[in-house]
Amino acid sequence: MQKVCNIIPFFLSRLSGIAPQREIRNWAYLSIEKIIGLNRSDTILKSNMILSSQIVLKLNDIVNELSNNQPIQYILSEVEFYGIKLKVNKNVLIPRPETEELVDWLLKDDFQSVLDIGTGSGCIAIALALNSNAIINAIDISKHALMVAQKNSINNRVKINFQNQDILKLNKLPKYDIIVSNPPYVLESYKSKISKKILDFEPHNALFVSDNNPLLFYTKIAKLAIKSLNNNGKLYFEINQLFAAEIFDFMHELGFVDIELKKDINGKKRMIRGTKK
């Protein structure tokens, strides 16, 4: 591997069988942009550029980590979410496209104040702050996750009030126009079906919930939200489609109205919204 034009063939050769070729190519382009600073067009235009030994070593290291199923986002310590560059590490979940859809849906509303519960990397809160004039608050049980979120807010030049709190231990919340949460919703029993890339590297406390109480976070948050939302305020959740009907029903029982389930790009019931009247 001596030139830029050798990088993609190197990735494809070394990582064959690890992932589809299209995904491996994407890993290579992300690595080239991060390590060398070339976008896809520049990679073609500067295909004969000679690689330094230091760059070759870094690319080798990336391929070795990818071969051990480590997510590219953690290797590069970076991910793009809703057009925003975010830092990520093992203390926060890697933001997913489905959550971008949740943000997109929420931004169609009118609001002046938001609480993001279980903020993780801060992806939802920061996207909302950059695309609205609202006052944004965010909480998380993990101090390490909040350190990542705070760094991301600084890097993206937005002001967010982050707090280290356990939502399950709170009995009341301040008033908000919007409460949004993407809480843990993958059943513990599904661990055997989850890819090693996720299971071995992403934080389990942000992913999994007990099979005995799969709606633990939803019920707690919804009960707090019905009391703390302003009139006509809305509660947004990202959800496990397996429990879409149950979440809809208990939100209705709590007094939410105009409840709407929304499918993601893959046709799965992935989001729900309810209004407090």
Here the CATH number for the domain that contains residue 169 is 3.40.50.150
CA dist., res. 28 & res. 10, Å (int): 9
Q: Could you tell me if residue 77 is inside a domain?
A: no
Single-letter residue type at 58: K
pLDDT for position 196: 85
Residues 251 and 215 in one domain: yes
What confidence tens digit (pLDDT) does each residue in 176-205 have?
999 999 999 999 998 988 988 899 999 999
Q: Could you tell me if residue 79 is inside a domain?
A: no
Q: Could you tell me if residue 81 is inside a domain?
A: no
Closest CA to 124 of 89, 149, 155: 149
pLDDT for position 16: 94
Residues 127 and 168 in one domain: yes
Q: Over the range 225-247, which residues count as b (16 or more CB within 10 Å of their CB) and which as e?
A: bbebbeeebbbbbbbbbebbeeb
Mean pLDDT along residues 23-30? 97
Whether the predicted pLDDT of 5 surpasses 90: yes
| Structural domain of 128 | 90-275
What confidence tens digit (pLDDT) does each residue in 74-103 have?
999 999 999 999 999 999 999 999 999 999
Which pLDDT band, with edges at 50, 70 and 90, does 7 fall under? very high
CA dist., res. 69 & res. 85, Å (int): 23
Residues 122 and 57 in one domain: no
Q: Could you tell me if residue 73 is inside a domain?
A: no
**How many residues in the chain?**
277
Residues 126 and 184 in one domain: yes
Mean pLDDT along residues 40-59? 96
Residues 128 and 19 in one domain: no
Residues 63 and 166 in one domain: no
Average per-residue pLDDT in the chain?
Answer: 96
Domain count, the chain: 2
Q: Could you tell me if residue 53 is inside a domain?
A: yes
Q: Could you tell me if residue 82 is inside a domain?
A: no
Residues 128 and 171 in one domain: yes
Residues 98 and 173 in one domain: yes
Residues 254 and 199 in one domain: yes
Q: Could you tell me if residue 74 is inside a domain?
A: no
Residues 156 and 58 in one domain: no
What confidence tens digit (pLDDT) does each residue in 102-146 have?
999 999 999 999 999 999 999 999 999 999 999 999 999 999 999
Q: Could you tell me if residue 44 is inside a domain?
A: yes
Virtual torsion, Cα 93, 272, 117, 176, nearest 10 deg: 150
Residues 200 and 150 in one domain: yes
Whether the predicted pLDDT of 1 surpasses 90: no
Residues 151 and 97 in one domain: yes
Lowest-confidence pick of 164-173, 184-193, 221-230, 236-245? 184-193
Mean pLDDT along residues 50-72? 96
